[in-house]
Amino acid sequence: YPLLYRNISVRLGRGVLLHGPSGCGKTLICRTLAAQWDFNVISIKGPELLSKFIGESEENVRKIFGCARVGSPCLIFFDEFDSLGPKRGESDTGVTDRVVNQLLTELDGVEGLDDVYIIGATNRIDLIDSSLLRPGRFDYIVKCELPNMEERMSILEIFCRGMSLKNADFEVIARATHGWTGADLKGLVTNAQLIAHKRIRGALGDKDVDFESTKYVMNQEDLLFAVKESQPNKNRNSSGSDRRPYISPGLFTTLA
């Protein structure tokens, strides 16, 4: 209810920074919010704005925010934000220092804009300049953790929804995939489908059978074999243990 908030002296936060291991749903959160709000979306990977020519990187940042003003309501999504806003003083060329300064100018300016919101995503929040993380710029800092066992079960159920399954036990698979991300689990289900396809094709042999009319069933053995064959991302810094989710303005928070 934006009109309700306009009648009180409270400035709503417009910046959200999502951080955590790759594959934990940071980009998916942005896409979901954009779809629910029916906003225009500007999606940018940090390195895409950087240029070797003096002044061009800063101009690219200004153009992004200019387009957002014209196209409001708009959501700007900066992926790989750590490459766009690294700590100042650590660059030999000074390009990223100027980009950070331009970002600070634009983020402070967002305060007076209507219906323009910014979401940044990074898996290296430790590399980001601290001035970008204070309230008033990124008001909400949300940590996207690895899924715990119950969450992995739910993710597997979603990815397998609509498939023909036989004796599938998602609890067993969830226990065997400790430390896996949602993206890893999606890859696991895809591999299990391919394994089931190969198994069924081998059973048919050279028979003249219409494969489309053959009942396709993926079973527990296919899923377990996929667990052994899949290669999850090993770059982890979180255990995915049980957590209590909460979001607080201006604090490092956890999103389950």
pLDDT at 249: 41
pLDDT band at 240 (very low <50, low <70, confident <90, very high): very low
pTM, 2 dp: 0.77
Least confidently predicted of 18-27, 182-191, 211-220, 246-255: 246-255
Which domains, and CATH codes, for the chain?
2-146+240-255 (3.40.50.300), 149-229 (1.10.8.60)
Least confidently predicted of 95-99, 131-135, 137-141, 204-208: 204-208
pLDDT band at 192 (very low <50, low <70, confident <90, very high): very high
- Which DSSP letter does residue 160 get? T
Q: Could you give the dihedral angle defined by the CA atoms of residues 112, 115, 121 and 126, in that order, rounded to the nearest 10 degrees?
A: 20
Half-sphere exposure of 223 (CA within 13 A, CB side): 27
248 token code pair: 């607080």
* Distance, CA of 115 to CA of 37 (rounded, Å): 11
What does DSSP say about strands 252-255 and 140-144: parallel, antiparallel, or unpaired? parallel
* Distance, CA of 2 to CA of 100 (rounded, Å): 30
Give the closest residue to 142 by CA, choosing from 236, 252, 250: 252
Q: What's the pLDDT tens digit per position in 27-82?
A: 888 888 878 888 888 988 888 888 777 888 888 988 998 888 888 888 999 998 99
What does pLDDT average to over the chain? 81
- Which DSSP letter does residue 228 get? H
pLDDT band at 241 (very low <50, low <70, confident <90, very high): very low
Q: What's the pLDDT tens digit per position in 205-225?
A: 666 555 554 566 889 999 999
Q: DSSP for 29-62?
A: HHHHHHHHHT-EEEEEEGGGG--SSTTHHHHHHH
